[in-house]
Structure formats: structure tokens, C-alpha cells
Amino acid sequence: MSNIVIKAENLGKKYIIGHQTDRGGYTALRDVLMQNARTMWKKTKDLATGKPIIQGDTMEEVWALRNVSFEIRQGEAVGIIGRNGAGKSTLLKILSRITEPTTGQIAISGRVASLLEVGTGFHPELTGRENIYLNGTILGMTRREIKRKFDEIVAFAEVDKYLDTPVKRYSSGMYVRLAFAVAAHLEPEILLVDEVLAVGDAQFQKKCLGKMGDVAKEGRTVLFVSHNMGAIQMLCQKSMLLKNGKLVMIRDAGDAIAQYLSDSRKDREGQIKLAPTGSDAFFTAISIRNSSGEICSEIDVSLPLTISFEYKILRPIQGLEVSFSLFNQYGSKIFYCPQSGSIHQHENEYPHGEYVGSVAIPGNFLAPGNYTISAGIHKPNIQLFDGRQHVIGFQIVECGSQHYAFSGQDIGSVLVDLPWMVRCLSDGENVSFN
């Protein structure tokens, strides 16, 4: 068993935030002046006593982190997951000594480097070369170390032609590549990384993930915050799940991710009830279910989902069509899916009654991302009984498919696995790389 390098006990961090109370009704100039005079007096008093200025009238204590205790051993790669505001970044900030905890204690053995942002301290007026030295030193490298790795950094960033150009003239892609290249060549004993991999183009992201993996394999300790579950699963053996500032669990990465997803399943709406529209045919509810039949709006990319439409038809209608369209996060229509293709023909009469119509979408079909559904009951080109635009949405979540490295990138909306036939033109042989 390797030794413990980070030991946190009972860690807590409190922030005080102010709220502006909303006074209803109209405000008179006199009130505003009085109010300003009062706050100015209060602020001056705060200044004299050394208290920070808090905007607003009421104060609230917020524990960004509370009673967090854990141990991390040397060489472990630990993912930190949780919703926005769960305290992930606060934890990293405390560990990297940027801010101090309100309660508790941490003991850290070894040189720590934190990477909370790519390109910290980059100066736009300085050249690429100068910024490598500046940023490297800020991240904790020595001058000699940077000199030794300089060529490697430049090669990694692929900016050798522009080394002596001020970085303000760089494209944003080049800027990020250079920034990450410096960070990737840090060699601390403990590396703390915040969501920084979600930058750059897909190819570069893959390169970065590979580099991160190397770091972990070299026996260094890595703490890694990410929303990219695929990356966490790939890089980390263990994972810490935070929720509202509390540590829910620190366990095997797969378990923690499963717990995280099921938590958010419970929290999110996967179903919507609709009120009658007053016409003769209308939707009453639309729901999204995962493969085990639970209503949920976050679906593992590899598993199927079912969309169910509940609707009422008050009188028999000739040529009625029930259909829906699926849109991706950019609002482009992926497909249109009418009922008539499978059951009804337009000229048939749709009997009155209450119905549930379901469509199953197979796993590994939709790419990770957000989708919305528009649904309609209509007589095509004649009459619209009920039309609901983007009425419900769901998210396809990456949980470690072969596409995990592209999370956040646009790889289209549909996953395909079409075989390529490659023939080498010089010898006419079919190529197989396996």
C-alpha cells in the first residue's frame, strides 16, 4: 500500500453573500437618498473595523464545502464529480492553497501544481516564447526546467512558426494549445486539474487526455475535476462525488459516476403534463424513459430510450397524424417521425379515445448532447389540432464509449460505425491496420 499524500479532515469553507431585498411599490427619491446614506455609513463602519464590504441588505452564510474528509494515496488518479456549485472548484482551491479553509485541516506531502485555468498569467503583449517562460514559472517550474523542456513544449503546441509573435495575434486555438502545452509539461508530485480539458479542437483534446493519462501512469497523484464522465472513467480509478458541499462518496470511479447520474435522474424532469388545448385532439403528457423504464432526462449514450406521448382524441378524425420531430442542441432537425408509417394510413379514420404512443430510440444512435422534441397532432397540410414546439428535452450522456474524447465537440448528432475499405494505391493491396 503506498503512502497517503493528501489527508483532509473535516474541511469546510464558508462564504458570506449579500442579497438585495426587493422592496415592492414605488420608491421616492428621498427613500433612495436615505438608503444610500445608511449603506454608506454602514460601509464606512465596516472599513474602520476591517470587515469586507458586502453588497446588499441581508447577509447569508453559504457553506461551499462542509465536513469533507478523505485520504488520497500516492499515484492515485482521483476524479471529482458533482453538479455545478457542488464545491468541486472550492475544494481544488483549498488544496492548492489559493484560499484557506474555514474549518478543518489538510496535510499534503509533495510538490503541488494546480491547473485551474489554462494560460494563467499569459500576457497578450508578450511573444509565445516569452509566455512559455512566464506561464511556466507561474505554474511552478524553474527556469532550468522550462529550458530543458522548451522544444518539447513547442512541438506539443504546434506553434513553432509563431514563437516570436505576440500571443495577442494568435488564433484562439493556438493560444489554448500553447497554454496547455506548458501545463502538460509540469512535473509535480501532485497535480490538481480543474475542468481545463474542455478546450481546443477534438484532436488536441485527445492529445491532452493522453498526456494526462501518462502523468497518472508515472506514479504521480492527480486530482481531476470534470463534467466529462468518459474522461473521468478513462483516467481515474477512484472518484469523489460532491453534492451541495458535502462528500457523498469516494469510491471506484464507475460507482461514483453511476451514483451521480442516478442522482441527477431523480432531480430532473423527464416528463411533462400538458393541459388540453380546447381542440378535438391534444396531448396530455410526454415522457422520456430510460432502458429500465424509469422516467428520466439523462440517458447513457449506449442504452436505448423511449419517448411516450399520451394523447386524447375526442371524436373520430379522418386522416389524422400524430408525429414528433427531434432537434439537436443547435436547433437543427435530426429527423421527423410520423405514426402513419407504422400504423395508420391518412385516409383511415382515427377512432376517438385515449392513447399512449411510444417510440424507442436505440442505444449508440444519438451522439452525446442535448435534444428537444416537438410534437404535433394534425391533418397534414390541412389542420393542426395540437402543436408543441420543443416541449421536452433530454440529454444523451457520455459514459465511456469510444467517442468519449470528443465530448463537447461537434461530431454530428448520430453515431455511426460504418466500415471503411482502404486500398493502398501503390500496390493495390487492401489495407488492414489490425
Partner 1 sequence: MTTIVIEPVRSEKNYWHDLWRFRELFLILAWRDLSVRYKQTVIGILWAILRPLLTMVVFTIIFGRIAGLPSDGNAPYTLLVFAAMLPWSLFSNALMESSNSLINNANLIGKVYFPRLIIPAATIVTAFIDFIIGFIILAGMMIYYHFTPDWQFVYLPGFILLSLLASLGPGLWITALNVKYRDFRYIIPFIVQFGLYISPVGFSSKVVPEGWRLIYSLNPMVGVIDGFRWCILGGNSTIYLPGFLLSLALITFFLWQGISRFRKMEKTFADLI
Task: Point out which span in 17-25, 100-108, 304-312, 361-369 binds partner 1 (CB under 8 A).
Answer: 100-108
Size of the site for partner 1 (CB under 8 A): 41
- Which one, 6 or 281, has the nearer CB to partner 1? 6
Among 22, 61, 125, 164, binds partner 1 (CB under 8 A): 125
Applying CB under 8 A, does 93 fall inside the site for partner 1?
A: yes
Applying CB under 8 A, does 239 fall inside the site for partner 1?
A: no
DSSP state of 302: T
Q: How far apart are CA 377 and CA 391, in angstroms?
A: 13
If you write DSSP's letter for every residue of 125-146 in order, what string do you get? TSBHHHHHHHHHHHTT--HHHH
Task: Point out which span in 127-135, 281-289, 296-304, 321-329 binds partner 1 (CB under 8 A).
Answer: 127-135
Applying CB under 8 A, does 18 fall inside the site for partner 1?
A: no
Task: Point out which span in 137-145, 328-336, 386-394, 404-412 binds partner 1 (CB under 8 A).
Answer: 137-145
Applying CB under 8 A, does 110 fall inside the site for partner 1?
A: yes
Task: Point out which span in 29-37, 117-125, 209-217, 312-320 binds partner 1 (CB under 8 A).
Answer: 117-125
- Which one, 13 or 289, has the nearer CB to partner 1? 13
Footprint (CB under 8 A) of partner 1, residues 184-213: 189
Nearest distance, CB of residue 334 and partner 1, angstroms: 39
What backbone phi and psi angles, to 5 degrees, belong to 214?
-60, -45
Question: Are 372 and 390 within 8 A, CB to CB?
Answer: yes
Applying CB under 8 A, does 163 fall inside the site for partner 1?
A: no
Among 67, 69, 85, 117, binds partner 1 (CB under 8 A): 117
Question: Are 310 and 354 within 8 A, CB to CB?
Answer: yes
Applying CB under 8 A, does 106 fall inside the site for partner 1?
A: yes
Q: How far is CA 337 from CA 321, 360, 368, 414, in A?
A: 10, 11, 20, 15
Footprint (CB under 8 A) of partner 1, residues 24-53: 47, 52-53
DSSP state of 18: E
Amino acid type, 155: A
Among 39, 67, 103, 284, binds partner 1 (CB under 8 A): 103
Residue 394 CA to its chain's centroid (Å): 14
Amino acid type, 299: I
Site string for partner 1, 51-90 (x = CB under 8 A): -xx-------------------------------------
DSSP state of 198: S
Report the alpha-carbon angle 357-358-362, nearest 5: 160
What backbone phi and psi angles, to 5 degrees, belong to 393?
-135, 160
Question: Are 79 and 253 within 8 A, CB to CB?
Answer: yes
Applying CB under 8 A, does 262 fall inside the site for partner 1?
A: no
Q: How far apart are CA 218 and CA 422, in angstroms?
A: 37
Q: In what order do the strands lie in the sheet with 77-81?
A: 112-115, 190-193, 221-225, 77-81, 238-243, 246-252
Binding site for partner 1 (CB under 8 A): 15, 47, 52-53, 93-110, 112, 114, 116-117, 120-121, 123, 125-126, 130, 133-134, 137-140, 142-143, 189
